[in-house]
Structure 1
Amino acid sequence: MPLLPASLTEPLWVEFAALIGSDRPEFDPTHPWGCHRRRIPDRVVFDHVLAALVHGSGYERVATAGCSDRTIRRRLDQWAEAGIGEQVLRTTLAGYDQMIGLDLDDLSVDGSITKSPGGGEVAGRSPVDRGKQGTKRSVACDNQGIPLHLVAARANDHDSPLLEPTLVGIVDMIGPLPQHRGVHGEDLFPTVHLDRGYDSGKTRDLLEILGFEGEIAVKGVPAPIQAGRRWPVERTHSWLNGYGKLRRFTDQRKVIVEFYLHLAAALTVIRRLINQARSLHRWPTRPTTRRLR
C-alpha cells in the first residue's frame, strides 16, 4: 500500500524534479578510474524522504537495499541547503491561487509545540511536556487554512517574537498582499486573527507597521466568547500533525526541520487543491474518493 496517493505525490514530484534538475550523470565523470558506484536516482531518494515524513521513523528504518540511510541524509542536506522545500511550497501556493484562489482578507497565526527528543538548533525546554525537548512551529494561513508560511523555533520561545518573521515571510511566498474595498469605499487591509498570547502593545504596533489589521483576543476573557476566525490555523496544525516527522523531530539542524515543514505544507496545499477543485473543475484522472489519505 503506498504511503500517499499518487494524486498527491506525482504533482509534487514533477515540481520537485524541475527544481533539483536531472542533468547529473549516472557515473561521476571525474573518477580517476572512469567508473564509480551508480548514483541513486533522485526519485528513489524522494520516495524514502516521503516515507520518513509520513512515518516519522529514523532513516535507518526507512532505508532499503537500493537506498541507504547515508544516501538519504546526503541528498536531504543538498535539497535543504538549496531551499527546495520553500520553493516547492511557493509553487504549490501559486497553483492553488490560480485555480482556486487564496482567501487573504482574513489571516490567522498561531504556534504549535511538538516533540524533539534529539535536541538540536530549534529544540528547547517544552513548557507543555514536563520540560522535555520540543520544537515550535509558527504558521500563518489564509481564511481557509492554507499554510502560507512556516517558521521553526525552540519550544520555549514565545509566540509573540515569532509573529514578525511569520508575517514577513508571507510576502516572500506569494507576493504583496492585496487590499480590498470596504462598504464605504475605504481601503481595507488584511486582518490577522490572534489568540490572547499576542495581546500586547508591541504586537499591535508591529501589525500597524506591516500594514495589517489586528483581531486579537483579550486576556482575561473566556476563549469561546472571542474565538473569532482563529480556527483555520488550528485546523492547519491538525493537518500538519498527521505527518509523523512533524510530531517528533529527530533531525537537529534547523534547515532540515524547515525543509520538512515546507514539504508537509506543500502536500497540504495539494490535498486541499484537489478536494476543492472537484466541484469546480473536471479532469480524467481525478481521484475517485473525496478523502485523500
Structure 2
Amino acid sequence: MNIDYKRSSGILLHISSLYSDYGIGDLGKEAYHFVDQLASTGATYWQLLPLGPTGYGNSPYSARSCFAGNELFINLDYLINLGLLTKEDLQDKPEFPSSRVDFNMVYQWKLPLLKKAASTFLLQNKNTKGYKAFLKEAEYWLEDYALFMVLYEKYNDARWYSIWDKKESIRDKDTLNKLRKDKTEEIQNWYALQYLFSTQWRKLKEYANSKGILLIGDAPIFAGGDSADTWSHLEIFKTDKDGHYSEVSGVPPDIFSTTGQLWGTPVYDWKVLKDTNYDWWFRRIKQL
C-alpha cells in the first residue's frame, strides 16, 4: 500500500527553555517569536514536553496534575497589560541564572506575584462570562487540584500519602468542607491561575496554528505518585488494603541500564478503569 506522506520537520523545545528575563521560559513574546522562527524556516511542528505543574525534582513527567497547567509558565508582562500587576511589582527581581532554570528561585519569587495577580483578577473578573465558562469546563478536576495545592503548601511539598494528616490524606468529607470554608481565597486563587494559564496557552496555540505551525503535545502514561490525581482518584490505581501503592512502574534491564529503572509512579488498576468506561482517561485526553 502506497501512502503519500507529506515531508515535515519541526523542533523539540520545552516552554521552560525559552529565553526569559524572569528565570523560566513562559507563554509570552519569546514563545511567539519562536513560532515566527519556525514558520520562517518552513517547519511545521513545535514539539513540547508535558505542560503540567511540576513537583519534587521538577520533571514534567511527574507532574502534580495530569489536567492542570504549570502556573510558572504564565507570562508576567501579560498580567501587567491586564492591569493585574504593575511594573513596580517586578522591581525586586533577583539575578536568575542565564543558562538554566533555578526552579526554587523562580518559585519563591514568581508564585507570590502570580497569587497577587490572581487576587486582583478575582476582584475584577470573577463574574465574567469567560471565567464562568472555564470553571464549568474544568469542574471535573479543578477543585481537587486547588484543594491539593493548598494542602501541598501547608506541608511544604511533603508527599500526601506519607506525611499529611490522615483525615486530609483520605479526603475525609468534614475535613475537606472545613478546608473549603477556611481557605476559600487560596482555593479561588488557584482557580484563577489555571484560567490565566489556559487563556495564555490557547492564544499561543491559535497563533501558532495561524502561522501553519502544529503543536505536538506530550503526556506521560503514568500519573505522578504525589499528585492531585492519585489523591483524588486513588481507586483507579493499584493499592493494598491500607491504601498504599501495591505496584509501581519501571523498566527491565536494557542497553541504557544494566539494573533496570524504578520510576516509582503508581500503576493503574485497569479493571476499575474499564468498569468506569475509562472515564478518567477520556477526560484527561480531552484536556490535552
Does TM, scored on the shorter chain, surpass 0.5?
no
Structure number with higher strand proportion: 1
Compute the TM-score of the two structures, normalised by the length of structure 1: 0.29
